[in-house]
Amino acid sequence: MSKTKTQSHPPSEKESEIIIRKALVQDVPAMARLINWFASQGQMLPRSHHQIYQYLRDFIVAEEDGEIVGCGALHIVWEDLAEVRSLAVQESHQRRGIGRRLVQALLQEARELGLPRVFALTYQQTFFEELGFHVVPRESLPHKIWGDCLNCPKFPNCDEIAMILDLKKDRAEEQR
């Protein structure tokens, strides 16, 4: 994945460019702080440094002036399915399109890998709907994806929304 420098609006003096790039080993402490802050709010699963190092190749980050302000991962589940997970953007940087850019970069990676479907378990239904995902029953997803759920404090009473995006359908609509 190459670095991309784009913005949704012109920079002000207080604002600089956001770079979306693959995560590096030195990004892990900042990523863990960001993810685990949202986990402490009950908005996602916590991730240890060990887990982030273990799955570092799944992650991308949003960087501004050398600071990690967002991250997300594309975790391959099976030959036809991947998950967008650990998507987090610092509160001070939200509503700037960073989360959207992170997901779009992850979806592009999924397309390049030939994956036909991507799902997310989320509390942010509207955000994912705006990116083309739609709600599906959690039970429609393979049971093997629920391994992380065993570590969740809300298990077995999950209240996250399962959403999926069919990339094949997405591509067909783009070609029309």
What's 52's domain CATH number?
3.40.630.30
* Residue of 72, 47, 81 whose CA lies nearest to 128: 72
Q: Is residue 2 part of a domain?
A: no
Q: Is residue 3 part of a domain?
A: no
Q: Is residue 148 part of a domain?
A: yes
Determine contact, residues 93/101, Cβ cutoff 8 Å: no
pLDDT tens track for 111-151: 999 999 999 999 999 999 999 999 998 878 866 556 666 66
State the pLDDT at residue 14.
45
Question: Which DSSP state fits 87?
Answer: E
pLDDT tens track for 82-102: 999 999 999 989 999 999 999
In this prediction, residues 51-65 reach a mean pLDDT of 97
Q: Is residue 50 part of a domain?
A: yes
Tokens of 121: 């378990």
Number of domains, the chain: 1
CA 27, 47, 167, 147 dihedral sign is positive
Q: Is residue 61 part of a domain?
A: yes
Rg (CA), the chain: 16
Q: Is residue 78 part of a domain?
A: yes
List alpha helices for 1-62, DSSP H: 28-40, 49-54
In this prediction, residues 14-36 reach a mean pLDDT of 92
The pTM of this model reads 0.83
* Residue of 168, 145, 124 whose CA lies nearest to 76: 145
State the pLDDT at residue 108.
97
Q: Is residue 7 part of a domain?
A: no
Tokens 């997310």 sit on residue? 120
Q: Is residue 10 part of a domain?
A: no
Tokens of 60: 């991308």
Strands 59-64 and 117-122: unpaired
Could you tell me which residue, 29 or 153, shows the higher pLDDT? 29
Could you tell me which residue, 57 or 174, shows the higher pLDDT? 57
Tokens 């990004």 sit on residue? 27
In this prediction, residues 3-31 reach a mean pLDDT of 72
Which residues does residue 118 pair with via DSSP β-bridges, in sequence order?
82, 165
State the pLDDT at residue 157.
62
For 163, the domain range is: 16-175
